[in-house]
Structure formats: C-alpha cells, structure tokens
A and B are shown apart, each in its own frame.
Chain A
C-alpha cells in the first residue's frame, strides 16, 4: 500500500509543487492587501475563500481526473499489470486524495490563523472582532477544551464531507467504466451518477437531521445563549450534528470503497 502511495505522489509531484506555490502566493497577496488597508481588505477575504475552495476543488479534480485517465490512457496499464488487488488500488487512490485534501485544508487553516493574527496586529476591528466574539461565545458554551473539540470536529466534518465527495466520484467513474466500458461517453455517465448520488446523500442527510429533531435552528441560536441550559442544549445539538454527519460520510466513503474495489476486481476491463 505504501508503495502505491509513493507512486501516486511521484505522479503528481509537479502538480503539488505548483499548488503549494499558488497557495503561498495567494497568502502573500492576502497579507499584502491587508497591508494596503481600506477597500483592499475585500480582496483578502475573497482570496481566503478562494484558497479554501481551490484546495477542495483541486483535490477533488486531481483524484477524479487521474483515476479516469488511468483507465482511458495506456499509462494506467502500468498500474493494472501489477498483482495489486482492486482493494489496494482503489484504497491507495482514495487515501491519497484524502491526504491531499487534509494537508491542503490544514495549510489553509494555518494561513487563516496567520491572516487573523496579522489583521489584529494591523488594528483591524470589523471581522476580527466578530471572530473574537464568536470564540468567546464558543468558550462559554463548550468550555475551553470543549471549544477545541468542537473546532476540530467541524474541521473533520468538512474533511469527511469532501472526502466522501471524492469517494463517490471514484465509484461513479468505476461504475461508468463497468457499464459503458467501450463507450467514450462513459465519463458523462459517471458525472450523472455522481450528481445523482450526491443529491441522494444530501437528501438522506437532511431527512435524518430532521428526523432527530435538528431542523435548521442550529446556528440561529448561537448568539442568544444566555443561560447554562441553553448552552448545554447547544452542545448536544452540535455534537449530534457532527456525529450524524460524520457517520454518514464515513458510510459513503466505505461503501464507495467496496463498490469500486469489487468492480475493479471482477467486472472492469482494464
């Protein structure tokens, strides 16, 4: 497995270097615009969102396109000639995609922290005040350690959500290849499957959340917590939300893994 991951990395060396440089340049621009003050701050905020969005999108595209090309182009044959089972091959690609995403998001979070610190030092009050207030409320509600758990929990949830996206993409592509192997439009079929499954996932997620009584009142009450019982209620809501989401995403990841691996072993023409 490690060997497979090693080659997934080698394959993407130039892409990753370009991505890292792009992130560094973006962060440089963010800080530059902060320095310029005034309306330029808007650029900083936009760039920060673009960085997060870019990392998620790049990791997703990287996994999907590389996997698709392994089937389509003859260079994929190198991998399929080896005595690696479908489980190992799919597993290595999914793990690598998840790691790419994790590292990327981690870098974005660190950059966000740097940006925030610089912003405070430069005397900004607007957004940084809101962030500080939010932190104070969170500390009140969750307690100091609890707050970190919640933050990490949300980070993990986002990570799991987009990893699940990648996994569904992998199984969509595999299904596309299984059902329409000779048709050059199997990518279109894969896209349709992907969209369909994603809609399905979101629907199921919403239904479950409503079912356990969560509705959409979760974040409306963030700023109106005035007493201990309301705080406890908030904690329980947040915990339920994280666990329900997390478990579902893990389910989709595992199902995608097994579907893709089994198909790769038995049904797909490589």
Chain B
C-alpha cells in the first residue's frame, strides 16, 4: 500500500534548491535507507514529508490525501537533535507524547526504555548524547504510526547503544508501516534496508531495491555509496 508519495517536490532556501524535483513513493512493509552525505537534502526531505517544511513547489500525499496538519497523526518523525524542553524528565516527555499522540503505546515505551537502560526519573539535561538519542528512538518507535522517519538515528552513538537502537527500529517495522532511515553510516544499515534512495545535492540519483541494486551494480551498497559520492 502506498503510504506517502512526493510529486516533483522542491524546496528552496533563497537561491539554493535543497530538494530538487524529488518524486518518491513509500510503501508499507518496507524499510528505506535515505542515503547521502551531510547537506545532500536528507533532512530537508524528511522535514517536508513530516509536514514541518512547506514545499516551494510540488505536492506531498500522505495516505492518498494531500498533506495537512492531520497527517502528523500518522507520521512519526525523529529529528537528529534533541528536541525536549530543559525542565523535563523522561516521564514528563512520556506524558507529553501520551497527551498529543493518540497512537502512543505506553507499554511499548516501557519495554523500549528498559532495553535502552533508561529510567523515567532521569532529567533531560542529565542525559548524554547517546542516551538522548536512545530516548528519541524509543519515543518515536513507541508510536503506532504508519510512517517512521528517523533522521540519523545512529549519529554519535556508541556500539552498545547502536544495537539497542537498531533492534528497536527492526522490531518496530511491520507489514503495515514504512520506516525511512537517513544515515551516512551505510555499513551498519546495509543489511536492514529493503530499498535504498540515494540523494545527491537535492536530487534522487538511485531509488531501488537494495538486493537488486547489489546485483545490478555488482557491489555492496557501501561501495556503491563511495562511488556515487566520490
């Protein structure tokens, strides 16, 4: 089932086209890798689909309807930086999510917190960047959303936390939803991805099934990445 569709999507900041004529389709039951170096347009594209940025040109359809504020009910976007109020503890953030997101699964969140070794009494300001990242992933994956957009979830994460995060992401993917992971850590992501979308200077240069791409280009996605962005 097609969950999200972008049609000739464009986003300009001044004269720079951060996203340039991007037409992609996100289908349920798949894990997508949105790959490219910093500044290639990954975050901009995600924020457009999440409804945080307004397109300069083009359209975005979410669940076959033109994107609106309501679409945020089905889309779980995880920004790459911390986005909590300083006064909050983890339990305050949980309360916030329960208040505003009908699809937030409290039991799932408890489970994920446990796996991430996080306590609800912890203050946000006392979390290391790794713990903050784990919290963001836990909150996002605890929602029963249709589309998950995870912006660089593994950035600056140590190996142990990485496992916890990957397992939360893989565990959350299902036939009913689509997961999009943007990253430049391809080697970690390679085996998890169904489809790969390579974005370069705002344009999509490769958009295909990972297995087929490996067969077609006769190299791993990691090596393909090196080639595309050399």
Do A and B come together as binding partners? yes
CB within 8 Å of B: which residues of A? 3, 6-7, 10-11, 13-14, 74-78, 80-86, 181-182, 265-270
Contact A3 B69 (CB under 8 A): no
B52's nearest neighbour on chain A, judged by CB, is: A270
**B100 contacts A270, CB within 8 Å?**
no
B72: which of A11, A75, A81, A86 is its contact (CB, 8 Å)?
A81
Given A78-B83, A269-B47, 14 other A-B residues pairs in contact with their CB atoms under 8 A: A7-B96, A10-B85, A11-B87, A13-B87, A14-B87, A74-B82, A77-B83, A81-B52, A81-B77, A83-B69, A84-B100, A86-B69, A182-B14, A270-B52
CB contact list, B41-55 vs A, under 8 A: 47, 50, 52-54
Residues of B within 8 A of A75 (CB): 82-86
| Chain A, Cβ-Cβ closest to B100 | A82
Q: In the complex, what residue of chain B is closest to A75 when comparing beta carbons?
A: B85
From A11, A85, A86, A270, B85 is in contact (CB under 8 Å) with: A11
Residues of A within 8 A of B54 (CB): 266-269
B 23-59 binary contact with A (CB < 8 Å = 1; else 0): 0000000000000000000000001001011100000
**Cross-interface CB contact of B69 among A11, A14, A84, cutoff 8 Å:** A84
Partner of A269 from the list B52, B69, B84, B86 (CB cut-off 8 Å) is B52
Interface centre among A74, A86, A265 (most CB of B within 10 A): A74
Q: What chain B residues lie within 8 Å of A6 (beta carbons)?
A: 99
Judge whether B53 and A270 touch: CB under 8 Å: yes
Q: Are A78 and B85 neighbours in the complex by a CB distance under 8 Å?
A: yes
User: Cα distance A77–B53 when bound, in Å?
Assistant: 12
Q: Is B81 an interface residue (CB 8 A)?
A: yes
6 residue pairs, one from A and one from B, having the closest CB atoms: A77-B83, A82-B100, A83-B72, A270-B52, A83-B73, A74-B81
How many residues of B are in contact with the other chain, CB < 8 A?
Answer: 26
Tally inter-chain residue pairs, CB-CB below 8 A: 63
B101 at the interface (CB under 8 A from A): yes
Question: A265 — nearest CB in chain B belongs to which residue?
Answer: B69
Known: A11-B87, A84-B69, A85-B69. A78 touches B96 (CB 8 A): yes
Q: Which chain B residues border A268 with CB–CB below 8 Å? A: 54
Contact A82 B85, beta carbon cutoff 8 Å? no
Inter-chain contacts of A13 with B (CB < 8 A):
87
In the bound complex, what is the Cα–Cα distance between A164 and B177 (angstroms)?
46
Q: List 27 A-B contacts (CB under 8 A).
A: A6-B99, A7-B96, A10-B87, A11-B87, A13-B87, A74-B79, A74-B83, A75-B83, A75-B85, A76-B83, A77-B52, A77-B83, A78-B85, A78-B96, A81-B50, A83-B70, A83-B71, A83-B73, A84-B100, A85-B69, A181-B13, A182-B14, A266-B54, A268-B54, A269-B47, A270-B47, A270-B52
Residues of B within 8 A of A (CB): 13-14, 47, 50, 52-54, 69-73, 77, 79, 81-87, 92, 96, 99-101
Chain B residues with CB under 8 A of A267: 54
Which of A7, A74, A83 counts the most chain B CB atoms within 10 A? Answer: A83
A82 touches B87 (CB 8 A): no
A267 to B52, CA, bound (A): 10
One of A11, A14, A83 near B100 (C-beta < 8 A): A83
Q: What is the bound-complex CA distance between A3 and B101, given in angstroms?
A: 12
Q: Knowing A78-B85, A81-B83, A84-B69 touch, does A269 contact B100 (C-beta < 8 A)?
A: no
What residue in chain A is nearest B99 (Cβ atoms)? A3
Closest Cβ–Cβ distance, residue A183 to chain B (whole Å): 9
Interchain nearest-CB distance for A177 vs B (Å): 11
- Residue contact A82 to B81, C-beta cutoff 8 Å: no
Distance in angstroms from B107 CB to nearest chain A CB is 21
B142 to chain A, nearest CB (A): 14
Q: Give Cα A78 to B194, complex, Å.
A: 30
Minimal Cβ-Cβ distance residue in B for A2: B99
Residue of chain A at shortest CB distance from B74: A83
B73 to chain A, nearest CB (A): 5
| Distance of A162 Cα from B129 Cα, bound (Å) | 41
A86–B77 alpha-carbon span in the complex (Å): 18
In the bound assembly, the distance between CA atoms of A269 and B53 in angstroms comes to 5
- Which among B50, B70, B71, B84 is the interface contact of A78 at CB below 8 angstroms? B84
Given the complex of chains A and B, what is the CA–CA distance between A39 and B52 in angstroms?
A: 59
Interfacial chain A residues near B53, Cβ < 8 Å? 269-270
In whole angstroms, how far apart are the Cα atoms of A7 and B81 in the complex? Answer: 21
